[in-house]
Chains A and B, each alone.
Chain A
Amino acid sequence: MAVILEVVHPNGTRAWQRLDALPLTVGRGLGNDVILDDPYVDARHARIALDDAGSLTIEDLGTVNGLVANDERTHTPVRLHLGIEIRVGRTTLRFRDTEEAVVPALVDDPTESVPARPMAGALPRAAGAGMGWLSTNGGQLVITGVAVWTVALTAWLGTAERASSVDAMGAALAFITAVAVWAGGWALASRAVMQRFHYSAHVAVASGVALAAIAWNAGGNWLDFFFPDSALITVFVAAGFAGLFGALIAGHLALASTAPRRRRWEMAGIIVGSAFAIGATAAVAVDDEFTDVATFSGVLKPIAPGLVPTATVSEFGGVMRKLKDEVDKTTKE
């Protein structure tokens, strides 16, 4: 008879190891015979060996969490027998007999497709799920670099001064600082919940959303140039920004929580919704306030005017009359 050590990882996956050569060490450190990827497990956690009487025992190596046998925490050696379960951190060690009977195999239908199963033994890696390229260091670096470069380019295009490279660098530096601080906050949250900082991934999430926001803003400007004073476009552009804000929150939550995707988006939706509600209330209040500053859509684009839809001067007269009616309405209030 030989004994099999069955390791049940915190995420439910299982692994088996035959206890041939004793003693064996168990722990999170890579020098152990049985390596457990479990944040509650010490680097060197326990040793499995034969005691003086020749019985198989597991011995705690002076750890924080010790061993749990029969729902009781202990720091003294525990004698093992077949069928016993020992908890080490959040991992369960089961000791089983090689001769244990198993149920017969099921009859397989060869036409049925075989579902791909997630790799066993992984950390709670919400980060990896659905963000393939983001989980690689190279991908994170590229997206952050492109975002910084885009911010600098936008600043450079936005100034007509000779020393424009200074403006560009200043903008890039301000952007880097802002992203570093923002991602730092999220990284701390990740560390608290997931035991991992995921700092570069958080930086990449923020950079990616910033990049999308710059692009969306530029697109919005072009739409505003072609179709000024359009309420539809204003709402459309604002909705886009709300979506990006939601994506930002959901992206960070993917790295800082174990919540399923649906739940993450719900949380992001609640945050964005509240922010918008506050913003809209403030906007309405400001709108009612008197101001002698005029606001208008003063966007200009270097494009062949033939491509721009234009009104005639007399059509603009109609626009002016409509404006008069609006102004007259405010005096009656």
Chain B
Amino acid sequence: MLLPAVLLSAGSTIAAQPTQPAPTPAATADVFRRNADRVVKIQVVETASAAKASIGSGFYVTDRGHIVTNYHVVSELVHAPERYRAEVIDIQGALHPVTVLGVDVVHDLAVLGADLKPSAFFSLDVLAIEQGNRLYALGHPEDLGLSIVEGTYNGLLSHTLHPRIHFTGSLNSGMSGGPTITDDGRVVGINVATSGNQISFLVPVERAAGLLARTLSPAGKAAAPTLEQVGRQLRDYQDVYLRDMFAGKTEMVNLGPFRVVTQPAPFFRCWADATRSEELLYEEVTHICSTDDFLFIAGDHSSGVVEVEHRFLSTKKLGPTRFFSLYASVFDQDETPSGSEEHVTSWKCSTRNVRNATVPMRAVLCLRRYRKLGELYDGVLKVAILGRRDAGLVSMLTLSGVTFENIDMLSRRYMERIAWR
């Protein structure tokens, strides 16, 4: 099973992990002393109640007060700018109001602007680094004050769609948006998420450099980040990776008499499980492929997950009527993603009996639309293959945060691909 990655925004508390023993305490102290004044605390405040909605970290990237942080630290400002404001607190404890200048929702980054002139800042240069190199993460864990956490660089994750650095070290909530640097003060990545047990993730620095360059360009300066922009980024993102899915050569898996798609792309992870026991009158094999990359959109809304799930049922002991009541009960289960009324509409579903070139099936498409992000939908296609009295396959394609055109195209390809062994 996959480890659930938890974003480091305040509110989600994680038990502190014991840090690795520090080999050279003097060096760590030096790193902290040299870089502490470049890191800030960011807090988002609800205007009406003046209460802190969330806190995170960030760091100066220019001498004109530009700050890089995570999108998820300041997402409230993009979703409800009338209800929230943000401010940064520097190392001296001085408070400065900030505005959001640019966001990259796919890589979970934001550039903020403050009216101040920092004495020092990090430059965002691409650097070569080896697995095992010692890194230092800076940030405000649990709002306890600026802290430094040691860890090691363990390369880029291989199975993700958008690049993530695997950092072995304890990131905690509140450190989101802070920099992780080398001992000579160069930024490697931006703290973003953790799975606990020292498994943490960073956004590579070049993504922040790209966003900063775009934000400071004349076009970027003109456009304040809006929900529309967030929606457009999501649309562009899903278009790129979904375009070729299930087209051309696609990996297939045999489940009983059926043949269905698996591993739609390299960034999917697949696993399978089977329940067989003397006690049961039937067998069930579950085969799931899913992307790890969920996108943070707002506190209670994430998106971007694509999942393929097959549940193969067979029996040697049940008669057709009893087997089909089991089959129907598996098919009838609602496994659609959850959601809240603020972000999505209710689901609507259509059911038909469909036949591709050779295989008859019962097909259901459930659809809902994002309320604020323009032409984006969640779609769940669920099919049950007909034609066998002792075997059945419930197959489900879950697409979240995609355009209807992609749901339509991928659902068709998905159904066309189902075949007899």
Contact = CB atoms under 8 A, between A and B. Distances in A.
Contacts of B354: 310-313, 315-316
Interface stretch (B17-25, B214-222, B341-349): B341-349
B384 A300 contact: yes
Contacts of A299: 328, 332, 362
B327 interface: yes
Nearest to A298: B332
Contact of A293 (B328, B334, B345): B334
A307 to B, nearest CB: 10
A320 B346 contact: no
Given A162-B279, A291-B347, A317-B408, A327 B365 contact: no
A262 interface: no
Contacts of A129: none
A161 to B, nearest CB: 7
A292 B347 contact: yes
A52 interface: no
Interface residues of B, number: 63
Contacts of A158: 322, 325
A290 B341 contact: yes
Interface in A302-333: 302, 304-305, 308-317, 319-324, 326-328, 330-331
Contact of B415 (A291, A300, A313, A330): A313
A231 interface: no
Nearest to A299: B328
A76 interface: no
A319 B365 contact: yes
A323 B351 CA distance: 10
Contacts of B280: 162
Given A157-B322, A292-B346, A298 B352 contact: no
A113 interface: no
A327 B327 contact: no
- Please name the 4 residue pairs, one residue from A and one from B, whose CB atoms are nearest each other, closest first: A298-B332, A302-B320, A305-B360, A160-B326
7 contacts: A158-B322, A291-B346, A292-B336, A292-B337, A316-B411, A323-B348, A324-B367
Interface of A: 156-162, 164, 225-226, 228-229, 289-302, 304-305, 308-317, 319-324, 326-328, 330-331
Interface of B: 279-282, 315, 318, 320-328, 331-334, 336-341, 344-356, 360, 362-369, 371, 377, 380, 382, 384, 386-387, 389, 392, 404, 407-408, 411-412, 415-416
